[in-house]
Structure 1
C-alpha cells in the first residue's frame, strides 16, 4: 500500500489530496492510484467492523475518497475513456447487504472508462437483477457483497440468471468481502475479485476483446 492508502487509512484528507496531486504530476497511472486508495478504504472498513471506527469515520473516509476522485477523474477519462470500450454494465449490492463503498469505487472507474453503468444500489433482490438484465441487456453483471452471509443471495441470483436463459448473454463478476467464499464454493461466476483495478481491466477486455 502506498501514500494514498496510508493517508486514507489514517483519515488524513490533507495528506491524501496532496498525494493525489503528487501522483498526477508524476503521471502515475490513475487506476493504480484508485486501487491504492481502495486498499486504505478497506482498512477503514475493517476498523469499523471491529468497532474502532464509527459511522462518522466511515462517512469521512467516503468524503475523502470522493474529493480525491474529483481530481483523478479527468485523468482517468483522458487515458481510459476511449470510445471503443463502451458497453453496458449492470451492478448492485445483493439483497441483505447495504455496503456500497467498494461498489461505488468500481462504478466511478467504469464511468470514467467510457462504460454505461446502471447502478441498482444496495439490498438488490434477485427479481430486480433479472428485471433489469432483461430491460437493459448488459454485457456484464456485477454483484457486490461484503458479508459472507450473503453468499446465498449471490448463488440465488446466479441460478435465477441461468434459469431465465440469460446466463449465456452476460458475464458475471463478484466483488467485496464475499470473494473468498465465492471462490471456495465455486459458484458459477466468471470472476471474483476485491481489486477494483483488476475488475475494470477484465470487464474492458471482455467487452472489447482486447488483451
Structure 2
C-alpha cells in the first residue's frame, strides 16, 4: 500500500487484517520504485488503451462514422478499458514478477533476495539504517497523488503522459500555478493558459534531461514538486 492517509486509516487496516493479508507499505517518495502498479502495469495498460482506442476509431471510420458524441466516447472508453483489463488478467506471470522484482513477495528468510530487481537501487545509500531513529510522518506530509491522490513517476523507459499533466495543471488555481512557476524560476506573468504551457514545457524538458522525475501535488498547497 502507498503511504497516503486513507491507506493508513483504522478501517482500511482492520479490513486488510480480517482478510489475513500481510501488508507492505511503500515509503513516501518511493512509489515509482516499489509499487508494482507503477513499475510494471500502468504503462502497459495505457499502451493497450491507446491501441484499442485507435482500433475502435479506425473501425468506426470504415463504417462511415465521422462525428463522436460524448455518449459515444463514454461507451468506447468503457469498452477499451474492459479489453485492457481482460488482457492484463491473462498476464498473471507479469503481475507475479512485478511483486517479486520489488521484493514484496520474496521469502522472508532472505533466500530470494537475489531476485529483487529495483530500478536505481544501486544509487541509494543505506548506510546507518540500523541505527536511524524512527521517522514520524504527519498526515499532511504524506504523498498525495495527481487527481486520485496518486503520484506519477516517469522512468527512462516511460512516456510522460501529457494529457494527465495538462489536466492536473489546469485544475490548479492561478495563485498555485504562479507559486509553482516561481519555485522553478519561471515567469509568473501572463494568463493562466500561458503559465500552464510554460510548466508543461518545463516538465517535458526535465523528463528529457533526467533518468526519472516525480511530479506530485502537495496536500496543503496543492503544488507540484520535481525530484
TM > 0.5 fold call: no
- The structure with the larger Rg is 2
The TM-score with structure 2 as length reference comes to 0.30
State the TM-score, normalized to the length of structure 1.
0.32
Q: Which has the higher strand share?
A: 1
Larger relative helix fraction? 1
